[in-house]
Structure 1
């Protein structure tokens, strides 16, 4: 059993958003303000906390989506409620029997729907209205206790785990100890032994002398009125009093544990997570526990991020294979949902386990009082707004080969191209090295900032198809795509593989057209390859290329450039292209790095590198602000 789908309508940034989840681990990626935390909070509102305490969420009017409201604020005629729906699915027969009153029409899934009316200003309690399944009966929520079998365990973003763990309240370790003392006899015996130990400590010198000195003074001060006496001892033995005196300590295996202040923030965060994850033993007393983790990468180096996600995946997988404990009717399933900004966390799972959330602009009709004009039929100007869109990679038209290629690439590079809305695909490392400098020479102000926000993807080849498909195929349910703008930069290979290059470019254009993405993607190509095009661009480029060439071929460079000659730019480019057919002659990545180093070493005021026209066009296009 697992949470299969979440539908948010009118909740914060989600005007009408559907998010799909996988049975084991689902990772939500996306930019800031994309709505990742909103999805987590929606699940917290739809399910009970694992420990039975309150979720800490108190819906108010700020949780209502501003869909065209006047000046972005709620007024008369704006929405007053938001709706959240959760659909649950199971591949194991009988797992959903407890939720039969919430079955959907297909008989294969169960769902619960929550309508929330935030309280008016000055009040705290919202109005909650539940509906189970299709709601075909007069009793919309016939068996509310069934929902108690679906729980969540929430781990917020960690910023200072050392302080949390070292708190004098002892709260984290107390939770762990309390779970081990559920049996009354075990608890009574523990507290009895602690009390005896407390008494023994009270008798250790100089504690008796200390209280005797205080008692003597107190007697002298009070004997003229109501004489007082004093004693010294521990508080009554209780789990909380013991926990307040305990401190978690940690050190590398094989060494003596030390105070947390001497440990790094990353390992302190993992220790904090470990104390929270001990609560998962309570998942055996629920049908489904959804572990919600926000930004678990905080203070963790990349390898630890991957190890953490692998552990969580193993925990979830094991829970779906376990049989309920003897005498228990609970299923004990665990599902993990993670939000992240880290490519290391995102690539710890298969691409099909990724959901890309984005904040997209849209326009809604509005009137002067903020009410929708759809019902009245009155024409009114549209107002800009934003909404969260969700693209589940599992809902894209990717075959097994594409999925495998994308996963292999992400594992090898940890690239960020699924996180942003602008992507620039290039053939190799040389383009990836040079394009940031070309952008600095070509772009200014907000366009340069947009380039910094663009994912630059060197695919080390010319197989662009899988990348275009994952970025541009519309989600089969929402119709949204991961990218808003994708540029492909590829070589024309004149004089060598020109026919194959023309065929490749034609197929790329056809692929874009087949996905109805001609406004979202564009292919930029040259006549030769990168280095000849840099030479043909003119300016100081020839001299800089020669200096960079010398470093790789200190003996043969003169003969090489004698072969290039000093003819027209086109003739030189063609000759250099012939030289580059010998793959052993030049390492293109090294040449690009040396070229930039030579350019940087020139005196101030010297003419800068000249950017080839096709690269300038690609940079201009990828940094345009697309029409909304």
Structure 2
């Protein structure tokens, strides 16, 4: 039998109490999740009293628990699985909250009936990667552990826009079980190495790292180029070397899809006049949004003006590269936010059917890799 003091300690770790609040009975305060937490705490205490090496198996401890209590349960399980009288605990979960609370090296992926340990001897992750992931792999990114396929992107703009863009091409990221993970421009390949095995086993989980080429086009002036490589100063071999460097981490199920020219927004505008029109409307709306969120009437006026400007550029003989530079300039130099432009672009594209030739080839290839053939 567990002592009162040990039971009290376990309850304190979970921040639970039996004391009724004024005017409310204990029975009305305790739900299924609360009872599950109490049961796990009791089992841990009882197992700790056994003379043999105890083992506790828990299926989905997150059931009926709000996220904060899930973290408390993980803390308790971690505490009781170390030190004297330790209990070996094996947990299965579908909770990103729990997955993000446990060190990556203590996790195992389960996919198509196979188990893949993420311990150091089994992955391409090194000590710096594990330390990095312990800092940055939060609950919003931990959904990658439960995905059928993973798109790792560099920013919020990609995370906002790519699902809608894929849908316009006949793909459904949600139906295909694709998690889009925004890593915020850093550590793209630290996350992808989670899925690369030391023995070169190929996980049945396609992982697409979607990244910018970051080579300024020939017509970009010095202000637009900033410190980026300039296509006018590179030959084909140098460009190929630049792209190959971005793909050097590819291995197993991990593939890197590099933009065809510069960056997501520029490449979309340069892909076709259809996308140039969408992006010009979106960037114009984002520029307006710096001071106030546009009303439907505002948007109608903004979009009409943007459409007329596109038509004028075409009549003047502008090529797509020139138009794309004009469209991208407010994002590059004018302080217009890319995520807001992506939000407007997603709104404009919703329900639209696009042809593959309307969209940058690297995105078409990435969507096909993640989802298979498009469905119409």
Superposition TM-score tier, normalisation by shorter sequence: 0.7 to 0.9
Partner of 1:569: 320
C-alpha displacement at 1:277, in angstroms? 3.4
C-alpha displacement at 1:430, in angstroms? 0.8
Partner of 1:308: 73
Partner of 1:535: 269
Q: Does 1:467 align with 2:191?
A: yes
Q: Does 1:352 align with 2:117?
A: no
Count of matched residue positions in the alignment of Structure 1 and Structure 2: 324
Structure 2 CA distance, aligned partners of 1:334 and 1:504?
Answer: 51
Partner of 2:10: none
Partner of 2:49: 284
Structure 2 CA distance, aligned partners of 1:577 and 1:349?
Answer: 41
What does 1:537-552 correspond to in 2, within 5 Å? Answer: 537-552=271-286
C-alpha displacement at 1:492, in angstroms? 1.8
Partner of 1:441: 168
- Classify 1:463/1:180 alpha carbon distance in 2 versus 1 (closer, same or farther; 3 Å): closer
C-alpha displacement at 1:617, in angstroms? 1.9
Describe the superposition over 1:391-433 as per-residue Cα deviations: whole angstroms up to 9, x where unpaired. Answer: 3333223222111222223126343222234222221111111
Describe the superposition over 1:219-246 as per-residue Cα deviations: whole angstroms up to 9, x where unpaired. Answer: xxxxxxxxxxxxxxxxxxxxxxxxxxxx
Structure 1 CA distance, aligned partners of 2:266 and 2:141?
Answer: 31
C-alpha displacement at 1:292, in angstroms? 1.6
Describe the superposition over 1:537-566 as per-residue Cα deviations: whole angstroms up to 9, x where unpaired. Answer: 33543443344333332399989x979955
C-alpha displacement at 1:464, in angstroms? 2.4
CA RMSD, 1 decimal: 3.6
C-alpha displacement at 1:607, in angstroms? 6.7
Structure 1 CA distance, aligned partners of 2:156 and 2:187?
Answer: 15
What does 1:230-269 correspond to in 2, within 5 Å? Answer: 254-255=21-22, 258-261=25-28, 263-269=30-36
Q: TM (normalized to structure 1)? A: 0.46
- Classify 1:591/1:351 alpha carbon distance in 2 versus 1 (closer, same or farther; 3 Å): same
C-alpha displacement at 1:461, in angstroms? 0.8
Structure 2 CA distance, aligned partners of 1:411 and 1:434?
Answer: 22
Larger deviation, residues 389-398 vs 286-295: 389-398
State the structure with more CA Rg: 1
Partner of 2:60: 295
1:432 to 153, 159, 162: 159
Q: Which runs of 5+ in 1 are unaligned?
A: 1-175, 182-248, 323-331, 360-386
Q: TM (normalized to structure 2)? A: 0.73
- Classify 1:414/1:490 alpha carbon distance in 2 versus 1 (closer, same or farther; 3 Å): closer
C-alpha displacement at 1:621, in angstroms? 2.0
Q: Does 1:587 align with 2:311?
A: no
- Classify 1:436/1:252 alpha carbon distance in 2 versus 1 (closer, same or farther; 3 Å): farther
Higher strand share goes to which structure?
1
SS at match of 2:49: helix
Higher helix share goes to which structure?
2
Partner of 2:209: 488
Structure 1 CA distance, aligned partners of 2:140 and 2:240?
Answer: 29
C-alpha displacement at 1:471, in angstroms? 1.3
C-alpha displacement at 1:343, in angstroms? 1.3
1:405 to 112, 132, 144: 132
Structure 1 CA distance, aligned partners of 2:186 and 2:43?
Answer: 46
Describe the superposition over 1:313-347 as per-residue Cα deviations: whole angstroms up to 9, x where unpaired. Answer: 11222xx2x4xxxxxxxxx3322221111111111
Structure 2 CA distance, aligned partners of 1:451 and 1:468?
Answer: 22
C-alpha displacement at 1:488, in angstroms? 1.9
Structure 2 CA distance, aligned partners of 1:511 and 1:535?
Answer: 29
SS at match of 1:333: coil
Q: Does 1:390 align with 2:113?
A: no
C-alpha displacement at 1:526, in angstroms? 2.3
Structure 1 CA distance, aligned partners of 2:70 and 2:29?
Answer: 21
Q: Does 1:521 align with 2:255?
A: yes
Q: Does 1:624 align with 2:372?
A: yes
Structure 2 CA distance, aligned partners of 1:570 and 1:279?
Answer: 70
C-alpha displacement at 1:452, in angstroms? 3.3
1:554 to 284, 288, 294: 288
C-alpha displacement at 1:270, in angstroms? 2.0
- Classify 1:352/1:278 alpha carbon distance in 2 versus 1 (closer, same or farther; 3 Å): same
Q: Could you tell me whether the CA contact under 8 Å between 1:354 and 1:393 is conserved in 2?
A: yes
Structure 2 CA distance, aligned partners of 1:450 and 1:412?
Answer: 18
Q: Which runs of 5+ in 2 are unaligned?
A: 5-15, 217-224, 231-237, 291-301
Q: Does 1:457 align with 2:185?
A: no
SS at match of 1:418: helix
SS at match of 1:390: strand
C-alpha displacement at 1:473, in angstroms? 2.9
Describe the superposition over 1:221-276 as per-residue Cα deviations: whole angstroms up to 9, x where unpaired. Answer: xxxxxxxxxxxxxxxxxxxxxxxxxxxx9777754662535533322332333343
- Classify 1:576/1:436 alpha carbon distance in 2 versus 1 (closer, same or farther; 3 Å): same
- Classify 1:569/1:253 alpha carbon distance in 2 versus 1 (closer, same or farther; 3 Å): farther
Q: Could you tell me whether the CA contact under 8 Å between 1:424 and 1:456 is conserved in 2?
A: yes
